[in-house]
Amino acid sequence: MASRLATRLLLRRPTATICISRSCRRVRHFSTQLLEGLPRYSKPTRGRYFLPNASPYQLWSRSFSSENGDLVEAVVPFMGESVTDGTLANFLKKPGERVEADEPIAQIETDKVTIDVASPEAGVIEKFIASEGDTVTPGTKVAVISKSAVPNEAHVSPPEETSWKETPLPPEEKDNTEEKSPKVEPVKKQEPKLTTPPLKSSSSEPQLPPKDRERRVPMPRLRKRVANRLKDSQNTFAMLTTFNEVDMTNMMKLRSDYKDKFVEKHDVKLGLMSCFVKAAVSALQNQPVVNAVIDGDDIIYRDYIDISVAVGTSKGLVVPVIRDTDRMNFADIEKGINSLAKKANTGALSIDEMAGGTFTISNGGVYGSLISTPIINPPQSAILGMHSIVQRPVVMDGKVVARPMMYIALTYDHRLIDGREAVLFLRRIKDVVEDPRRLLLDI
């Protein structure tokens, strides 16, 4: 019936163009084939026609496929609204290896995150189109994959190496090799040569190390981005840092008393960061100007609190964001921090998870830092620095006792925040951490 319908169409309208649908349910993509010897028709028909098996016209194949439908191309995916290009860092597979659908075959390093290039279909990698170190944009072709090829055995199991002794040469070649083999002459003893000692350089010339003891590598894009942002922060903000110290006795006792019950109920450990995040939320609510930002000639006050947490990874510093921390409890904050830290260490953070943020907390104490002056994370207006906990002598009720103390630092933009607001902000954090009951009573 289908063949009679197609024949009838050709007889009635000789200038018609055959349009073949990709799907039998819904017309989505069209590919027109012009019949030989017939003029082109301006408007293709959006109908579905079934051709006999012997028809010379082939169905339209899926995106990124060759004409025969066997080869597909892996392309760079969309990398985010603010990311226009990236660097092809490395390939995870080799030509000739088998890959499955959606399996990563390459990694793209951007200014913020590392993105995987996945295989669109299951098959064998025919070749790589791009090279490591190339700058690529979304849609750039990276590799060609064959869906019907057989994996290269060289990548599956290396061939057994055979010794040259096990394969004897033919008689004629043996004679030739024996005739051409050079005669071994006795080694003559070389007389030692008198060498002149090197001239001593003048004391005024600096002694530089040799160049072969140096290594030059290209700077990763993430490190470039961090360097540019920090330098822009220094050039833009009028940064000033104020310090205070916190007695961690009560907070550490709280952790010790309830850590087991906390893990049993919430399936996550109770850390110090959640307490400082809640203390920062309380301080930002008391001093809303610290949560604000300068935009041209205006000041933008935010009625929401998104805390950015600085995480150091092997590739560089990343600052993922915990959204709406003013609506979270201790358990929600700990779960959010653990999830973002795992993604940061595995390079699985997305652009959205690092965008925004109204205030940043950096914990240099995990590396043993005693005191530091953190740099503001633009376009925010302030950053809190935590440091290591050290037993120090302090005066309590007229007596000198040893207490676990931590220095805290607040770096703020002095164009927007005055010293009064900064000191009161840091004082609020000190009061809440030293006596967490203030959060319960809201005092």
Query: Catalytic site residues?
Result: 414, 418
The residues, ordered by sequence, that sit 6+ positions from 287 with a Cβ below 8 Å of its Cβ are: 421, 424, 425, 428
Q: Which 3 state secondary structure label does DSSP give 20?
A: strand
How crowded is residue 396: how many other Cβ atoms within 10 Å of its Cβ?
A: 12
CA–CA distance from 266 to each of 66, 168, 332, 428 (Å)?
52, 72, 9, 28
Task: Identify how many contiguous H helices and E strands the chain contains and give both numbers.
Answer: 9, 20
Backbone dihedral angles phi then psi of residue 229, each to the nearest 5 degrees: -65, -40
**Residue 31 pairs with which residues in a beta bridge?**
20
Residue found by looking up tokens 């000041």 in the block? 299
Backbone dihedral angles phi then psi of residue 309, each to the nearest 5 degrees: -115, 120
Burial of 195 (0-12, 13-18, 19+ CB in 10 A): exposed
Amino acid at site 50? F
Tokens matching residue 83: 């990311």
Are 41 and 17 in contact by the 8 Å Cβ rule? The answer is: yes
Residue found by looking up tokens 């109908």 in the block? 47
Q: What is the 3-state secondary structure (H, E, C) of 136-150?
A: ECCCCEEEEEECCCC
State how far the Cα of 272 lies from the Cα of 363, in Å rounded to an integer.
10
State how far the Cα of 126 lies from the Cα of 144, in Å rounded to an integer.
5
Q: Where are the beta strands (DSSP E) in 271-346?
A: 293-295, 298-300, 307-309, 311-313, 316-318, 321-322
Backbone dihedral angles phi then psi of residue 80, each to the nearest 5 degrees: 120, 160
Pairing of strands 114-118, 321-322: unpaired
The residues, ordered by sequence, that sit 6+ positions from 221 with a Cβ below 8 Å of its Cβ are: 86, 87, 109, 110, 111
State how far the Cα of 388 lies from the Cα of 410, in Å rounded to an integer.
15
State how far the Cα of 127 lies from the Cα of 144, in Å rounded to an integer.
6
The residues, ordered by sequence, that sit 6+ positions from 159 with a Cβ below 8 Å of its Cβ are: 153
